[in-house]
């Protein structure tokens, strides 16, 4: 077993959190930011990242998990409602061996429709479509 490297603030999501890179935002408060995945595995694929810098689940402070997971749940509810989904797939990867590519803790929220498969990885979504889904999700926050 190898120990994880230290958090690198130059990761893409760190840059998005600091406003150095753009994102299509659907939710933000003092705890978390949620924005659209630009390589969506389904229409409405959304990411939720905590504002506290952490590489993955294991180096995130346990005392902050409750507030952060409450935001994950809130975004998940808006994604399901806004996308009129039948269900949700929620994913969280840790380290390369676990499938992680961006090393700032994040949860994937994937709205699922009965019988509809995931799209292949690594295919960029159309900007206009992503904006349309983001609008639906934003409107679903109570």
Where does this chain bind ligand AMP (CB under 6 A)?
12, 21, 23, 37-39, 47, 93, 99-102, 106
Q: Which of 45, 106, 108, 113 is catalytic?
A: 106
113 in catalytic set: no
CB-wise, 116 or 118, nearer to ligand AMP? Answer: 118
Total Cβ atoms within 10 A of residue 124: 9
Given a contact cutoff of 8 angstroms between Cβ atoms, the answer to whether 61 and 109 are in contact is no
Q: In what order do the strands lie in the sheet with 25-28?
A: 25-28, 32-36, 46-50, 107-112, 87-91
Q: How far is the CB of 7 from ligand AMP (least distance, A)?
A: 14
| 91 DSSP β-pair partners | 108
Q: How many CA atoms lie within 13 A of 24 on its CB side?
A: 22
The residue number whose beta carbon is nearest to ligand AMP equals: 39
Q: How far is the CB of 43 from ligand AMP (least distance, A)?
A: 14
CB-wise, 93 or 141, nearer to ligand AMP? Answer: 93
Q: How far is CA 39 from the centre of its chain?
A: 12
Q: How far is the CB of 77 from ligand AMP (least distance, A)?
A: 21
CB-wise, 23 or 32, nearer to ligand AMP? Answer: 23
CB-wise, 12 or 64, nearer to ligand AMP? Answer: 12
Q: Which helix (H) or strand (E) holds 20?
A: none
Given a contact cutoff of 8 angstroms between Cβ atoms, the answer to whether 132 and 78 are in contact is no
Q: How far is the CB of 108 from ligand AMP (least distance, A)?
A: 6
Q: Active-site residues: which are they?
A: 106
């Amino acid at each position: 077993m190898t120990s994880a490297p230290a958090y690198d603030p130059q990761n893409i999501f760190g840059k998005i959190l600091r406003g150095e890179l753009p994102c299509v935002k659907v939710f933000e408060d003092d705890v978390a930011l949620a924005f659209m995945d630009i390589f969506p595995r389904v229409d409405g694929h959304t990411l939720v990242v905590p504002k506290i810098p952490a590489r993955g689940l294991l180096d995130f402070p346990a005392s902050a998990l409750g507030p952060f997971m409450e935001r994950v749940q809130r975004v998940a509810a808006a994604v399901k409602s806004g996308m009129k989904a039948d269900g949700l797939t929620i994913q969280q990867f840790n380290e390369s061996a676990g499938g992680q590519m961006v090393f700032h803790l994040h949860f994937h929220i994937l709205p699922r429709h009965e019988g509809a498969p995931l799209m292949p990885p690594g295919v960029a979504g159309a900007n206009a479509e992503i904006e349309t889904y983001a609008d639906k999700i934003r409107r679903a926050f109570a």
